[in-house]
Amino acid sequence: MTDASEARQADRTLKSKHRAMWALGDYPSVASHVVSPLGPLLVKECGIQIGDRVLDIAAGSGNAAIPAALAGADVVASDLTPELLEVGRHLAAVQGAQLEWREADAEDLPFADGEFDVVMSCIGIMFAPHHRTAADEMLRVCRAGGTVGLVSWTPEGFVGRLFATMKPFAPPPPPGVQPPPLWGSEEYVHELLGDAVTDVVARRRTVRVTLFKAPSDFREFFKACYGPTIAVYRAVGDDPEKVAALDAALDALAAEHTTDGVMEWEYLLLTAHRSG
């Protein structure tokens, strides 16, 4: 087997693992019960209008794609995980939204150069393993003068720290795989996008989370619903001491970020125009 074919096989294996991870648990519950305000916010900040051709990358169950369709846009919701797309189809039907659902890899989008007026991703593209490749694809399919919009968890915010907390319990990532919360660093995203964009506006904000009345409520919800957390628990599942240590670490993290039953999860909201 040649080096190139070995690399392709390794990438297919990696993407298969990612696809399976996001199918674990119930991520649509996280999207609808915890971070639901983020999708409509991104649609508003991108200025999406009737007739815009919009691509939502790593759309999951449609937290941003469905509001964009309801705003009158011509929307394609793409995601690597077909199980999430199927949930999205059902949610869209319930809400009366019409859009296209397309299984697609953020690092190899099946769309033409400059096909979309708006290319957005709401805490989605940040989980693609190779950031430069994903960013290049996002820029490629956006037309000159079009809008790029991103919502990403920051490294310093709660979810960024969640990944840092889980890291010692998780298997080491394959070579070249980059940490998702880097997309929440304004400087990092500026470097990824470079002079391919203009009019960059980046703001740090927080989403208010009131679902969890105690730290253990957060931990149990994420153990049941959030693919990355489920995967880490499975990795240490045969070691009761590590499971207990991970339980304690997540409880401590949640307690640190909870005041009177309220959590504030920081994210970076970034919009820009495609150079042309």
What is the full DSSP assignment across 12-43? HHHHHHHHHHHHSTTHHHHHHHTSTTHHHHHH
Task: Give the per-residue pLDDT at 5.
Answer: 74
pTM for this model (two decimals): 0.95
**Mean pLDDT, residues 130-145:** 98
Whether residue 3 has pLDDT greater than 70: no
Task: Give the per-residue pLDDT at 257.
Answer: 96
Q: Is residue 181 part of a domain?
A: yes
Handedness of CA 95, 101, 105, 108 (dihedral sign): negative
Chain centroid to CA 239: 30
Percent of the chain with pLDDT over 90: 94
Q: Among 8-22, 38-52, 197-211, where is mean pLDDT lowest? A: 8-22
Handedness of CA 136, 182, 154, 57 (dihedral sign): positive
Chain centroid to CA 14: 17
Q: Is residue 247 part of a domain?
A: no
Q: Is residue 224 part of a domain?
A: no
**Mean pLDDT, residues 230-241:** 97
Whether residue 2 has pLDDT greater than 70: no
Task: Give the per-residue pLDDT at 10.
Answer: 84
Whether residue 1 has pLDDT greater than 60: no
Q: Is residue 222 part of a domain?
A: no
Give the count of domains, the chain.
1
Burial of 32 (0-12, 13-18, 19+ CB in 10 A): middle
CB 38 within 8 A of CB 207: yes
Q: Is residue 87 part of a domain?
A: yes
Using alpha carbons, list the distances in angstroms from residue 200 to 55, 121, 189, 203, 269: 19, 16, 10, 10, 10
Query: Distance between CA atoms of 212 and 217, rounded to whole angstroms?
Result: 5
Task: Give the per-residue pLDDT at 276.
Answer: 82
Q: Is residue 9 part of a domain?
A: yes
Q: Is residue 74 part of a domain?
A: yes
The domain that contains 33 carries what CATH number? 3.40.50.150
Which structural domain range is residue 159 located in? Answer: 3-208+265-274
Q: Among 1-10, 94-103, 132-141, where is mean pLDDT lowest? A: 1-10
More confident residue, 10 or 134: 134
What's the chain's average pLDDT?
A: 96
CB 263 within 8 A of CB 158: yes
Query: Distance between CA atoms of 118 and 42, rounded to whole angstroms?
Result: 11
Handedness of CA 43, 85, 70, 95 (dihedral sign): negative
List pLDDT tens digits, range 143-195.
Answer: 999 999 999 999 999 999 999 999 999 999 888 899 999 999 999 999 999 99
List pLDDT tens digits, range 236-250.
Answer: 999 999 999 999 999
113 — phi, psi (to 5°)? Answer: -55, 135
Q: Is residue 248 part of a domain?
A: no
